[in-house]
Structure 1
Amino acid sequence: MAKAKRQYVCQNCGAVTYRWQGQCADCGEWNTLVEEAGESAFSAKHDLSKGGRTLALETLDAHSIMPERMLCGIAEFDRALGGGFVAGSATLIGGDPGIGKSTLLLQAAGRLALAGKSVVYISGEEATAQVRLRAQRLGLGKAPVALASATSVRDILATLGGGSDPDFIVIDSIQTMHSDLIEGAPGTVSQVRASAQELIRFAKDSGAALVLVGHVTKDGTIAGPRVLEHMVDTVLAFEGERSHQYRILRAVKNRFGGTDEIGVFAMGEGGLGEVANPSSLFLTDRSRDVPGSVVFPALEGTRPVLVEVQALTVRLASGATPRRAVVGWDSGRLAMVLAVLEARCGLQMGACEVYLNIAGGYRLTDPAADMAVAAALISAFSERPVPADAIVFGELSLSGEVRPVAHDGLRLREAAKLGFSTAWGPKGMKGVGGISVTGFTRLGELVDLMLGRD
């Protein structure tokens, strides 16, 4: 048999090259190429069109049964999943070290076990005694969760298949798993791919809900090959700062539900607690008007969340280079809004330092935040506060036009629930819940209103 061709795989992005080099040509990372066994000449020339079995093709109008779901008893977790764990599905959850991934999954596993489900928790990073002590601190010491500390995929599959099939399996973490069928250390691209593939195949065959914990890189993305995210059914990102109390569980991909759903948690002595009204977390005291502070009704999936946008502008002496600092929003988007304010509205903000912050450690991705950011910048620049009982939202174009946004009714209802009475937004939206609405077609109209121009 011909010798297999030598290949090198990038451990950061999964790119393949047939000669070693110091820097990956795809992702630009250094010293990430590792040699792996390549495809043999026989397998490359083998004709796969012969010897296979004929597949039974179906039509789109065939009857389909909705997948069975398991509610873990943590409402915010079930919301992010789209209604609970699906039997036979694979879920990948990633987050920074110490953010609370293991704590959240242990709480979910404990509640499912107390509800009568068969639960297995496999830890590749901690001993069973450590997991047991954490469960006791969380008040789940009596939960009938089957624990094991292992990294061999062969041993794990032999254990899982040796008795009755479990309902719920946690693997913490997939980067520590090792398959003896593949050469390489745990955490390499080939090991992560092969280990995940074997575990997912077992979950599909047995009908168990599988959860894989994934490490993240310094950029916040899940470590290992991107193919791992394509292999699973659901990808959840656990966000937040370890120095902050609050955590956000965000659905990035979900084959059985909507994406961009979030669950909000607060870290306490008893573990991660649910936050039923997240809007109250991201709003400071609104008893008085403060320049540069604007409330924006963000939309995460089907959930509206009110957050506070804070802006500060500092006038500099001529010749000094102004600084632009952004926390919780896209810096490129801020540059666009500043350019529109200067080019279309006549505000000379080019010589000012600009600082923008989203309160509470929240990160905004909703394009409807453009107008709220613009209002906060105008307020800080002119020292004229936006009314404390007002919310602002709308998307801006480069021409200065205020564009309509989706689900304005949901945003207004959430604001009315929290006591807001005024809304500034795109022209044509209708008031809901007693909120008076002021619509704008161009950003210049908002500038004239806030500056008192005729």
Structure 2
Amino acid sequence: MSTGSCPRATDVADQGAAAVMKTTTKRSSPSYACASCGHRANTLWDRCPECLAFGSFCEADTTTPDAVRPARGRSSGPLPAPLSGVSLARHPRRSSELGELDRVLGRGPNGEGLAAGQVLVLGGSPGVGKSTLLMQALAGLTAAGGRALYASGEETREQIAERAHRLGLADALARIDVLDTHQVEDVDAALRAGGYVTAVVDSLQTFTADDLGDPGTTRTVAVVAERLTSTAKSLDVSLWLVGQATKDGRLAGPNAAAHVVDTLLWFEREHGADFRVLRAGKNRFGSVGEVGLFRMDAGGLHDVADPSSPLVRRRAGAHPVGAVWAAVADADRPVLVEVQALVSEATDSSPKRVAVGLDAQRLALVMAVLGRHAGVELEGDVFLDVQSPTGRLSDRGLDLPIALALASAARDSPVPADLACCGKLSLTGEVLPPLRLDARLSEMRRLGFGRLLAPVGGGAQQGDGTTEVATLAEAIALALGGAA
């Protein structure tokens, strides 16, 4: 056999080395790694696809084997513990001295109000009163002791101090420190050195960091929120992150931080009732169903604990034709509203159908049920107005009040002044229980209504003035009597 046909030992060694180099090169191809979890990738991600950390990817040493990645489930990690042994004293609550704000923030084993270490995003349109709300909240939260930090990237110290004086909070100025900066490192250092119980960052879109780009971008906002949240949690500092609204009413930028924070609050103006409305879209420390109502004047924001009573007192005496009292439950809070309807001769070949404060499609559906199952035909122009302190309504419990108001206007017969009602309507003309029926009935009784119309199964008791109705035709007969 010719020796030229057999591989030499040196050739075999060279081929083996090449194979090892090729394998090593293939395994070490990822050039970026997450500093939080060690995940590797060929792409410089803004957010780690493994641990979801923002801004944690950096260039990695490609010669380091994959074995250096942190092992999952390692014995040195945290161990599970029974919930019965978890202390509830970790998150004590402080009152803001604004009852409506405390209501929205939530109630827990440690009371009502803002919890220690709670991180919130407060959004709203410019000029709605976010800064006013926060300044009053800081004054209230520090009234029982402690200090607060107000970090602003939009206003100067002088502007913030002037607002506090205008709101009559001069006594609280010594408890509130002001920091005007755009750097998250400055806020972090101040929080770690100041010993604060709560802090405000106004607004989130104006802050950045040395290793980030321009402020206001989605990535910058998310990373800033994540870093400030981490600091606040480690120090048990309650942190408010302020966001602005876009032209279409959405939260600009801070939506990227929604998964990081504990609570998302939205502050808006209700023009019809001259109220400011505070809603919770997410709340790990309370219910998302609560709604806070405020009235604003030169002295700041004031709680509106009972928005229904002034409306009822204003409508004293006989009830006009086409007006019906109704209880709506915007999320978890029942509020009384007045439904007003007007039916007139058509002024055009196409009759008008106008709904204010309510979806026009809802009006069309109720009109169809009225005509088919109650014999109330509405041929002319129809106008409906529902004024609510909590804004535009989508509450199905208004179906029955709307139908009674339309029937009253069409038959020119008033509904009794002491009557209030609530209920959903089915397409078959049945009256069905709405959400939170018990709370609605309790609110109507509290306000002194002696006659209540409610769906069957509403828990009517002997002598409480509640009459259960099964159909729309039955409800109209009870409310309007023999009017035709």
TM-score normalised to the size of structure 2?
0.78
CA distance in 2, matches of 1:400, 1:414: 26
On the 8 A contact 1:92/1:213 being kept in 2, the answer is: yes
On the 8 A contact 2:339/2:384 being kept in 1, the answer is: no
Q: Which residue of 2 aligns with 1:322?
A: 352
CA distance in 2, matches of 1:364, 1:373: 12
Q: Which residue of 2 aligns with 1:116?
A: 145
Q: Which residue of 2 aligns with 1:63?
A: 85
**Which has more radius of gyration?**
2
Paired AA for residue 103 in structure 2: R
TM-superposed CA distance for 1:332, in Å, is 3.6
What percent identity do the matched residue pairs reach?
37
In the alignment, structure 1 residue 149 sits paired with structure 2 residue 211: no
Instruction: Give matches, 1:243-322, under 5 Å.
Output: 245-283=274-312, 284-317=314-347, 319-320=349-350, 322=352
Q: Which residue of 1 aligns with 2:24?
A: none
Q: Aligned match of 2:70 in 40, 51, 60?
A: 51
Paired AA for residue 77 in structure 1: L
CA distance in 2, matches of 1:404, 1:49: 61
Shift of the 50–39 alpha-carbon distance from structure 1 to 2, 3 Å rule, reads: closer
TM-score normalised to the size of structure 1?
0.83
Give aligned pairs, total.
Answer: 425
Q: Which residue of 1 aligns with 2:21?
A: none
Q: Which residue of 2 aligns with 1:30?
A: none
On the 8 A contact 2:323/2:414 being kept in 1, the answer is: yes
Q: Which residue of 2 aligns with 1:19?
A: none
Shift of the 395–42 alpha-carbon distance from structure 1 to 2, 3 Å rule, reads: farther
Paired AA for residue 176 in structure 2: V
SS of equivalent residue, structure 2 residue 343: strand
When you count helix as a share of all residues, which structure comes out higher?
2
In the alignment, structure 1 residue 374 sits paired with structure 2 residue 396: no
Instruction: Give matches, 1:369-448, under 5 Å.
Output: 369-431=398-460, 435-448=464-477
SS of equivalent residue, structure 1 residue 256: coil
On the 8 A contact 2:411/2:483 being kept in 1, the answer is: no
* Unaligned ranges ≥5, structure 1: 10-36
Paired AA for residue 183 in structure 2: S
CA distance in 1, matches of 2:341, 2:368: 16
Shift of the 48–94 alpha-carbon distance from structure 1 to 2, 3 Å rule, reads: farther
SS of equivalent residue, structure 2 residue 410: helix
* Unaligned ranges ≥5, structure 2: 1-29, 33-41, 48-54, 107-111
Structure 1 stretch 279-288 or stretch 437-446: which is displaced more?
Answer: 279-288
Q: Which residue of 2 aligns with 1:76?
A: 100
CA distance in 2, matches of 1:289, 1:297: 17
SS of equivalent residue, structure 2 residue 142: helix
Paired AA for residue 51 in structure 1: P
On the 8 A contact 2:294/2:303 being kept in 1, the answer is: yes
On the 8 A contact 1:5/1:39 being kept in 2, the answer is: no
Q: Which residue of 2 aligns with 1:238?
A: 267
Q: Aligned match of 1:349 in 371, 378, 395?
A: 378
In the alignment, structure 1 residue 452 sits paired with structure 2 residue 474: no
TM-superposed CA distance for 1:98, in Å, is 1.3
TM-superposed CA distance for 1:441, in Å, is 1.1
Shift of the 137–226 alpha-carbon distance from structure 1 to 2, 3 Å rule, reads: closer
Q: Which residue of 2 aligns with 1:176?
A: 206
Shift of the 96–276 alpha-carbon distance from structure 1 to 2, 3 Å rule, reads: same
TM-superposed CA distance for 1:48, in Å, is 9.6
Q: Which residue of 1 aligns with 2:191?
A: 160
Instruction: Give matches, 1:73-222, under 5 Å.
Output: 73-82=97-106, 83-143=112-172, 144-161=175-192, 163-183=193-213, 185-222=214-251
TM-superposed CA distance for 1:431, in Å, is 4.2
SS of equivalent residue, structure 1 residue 142: helix
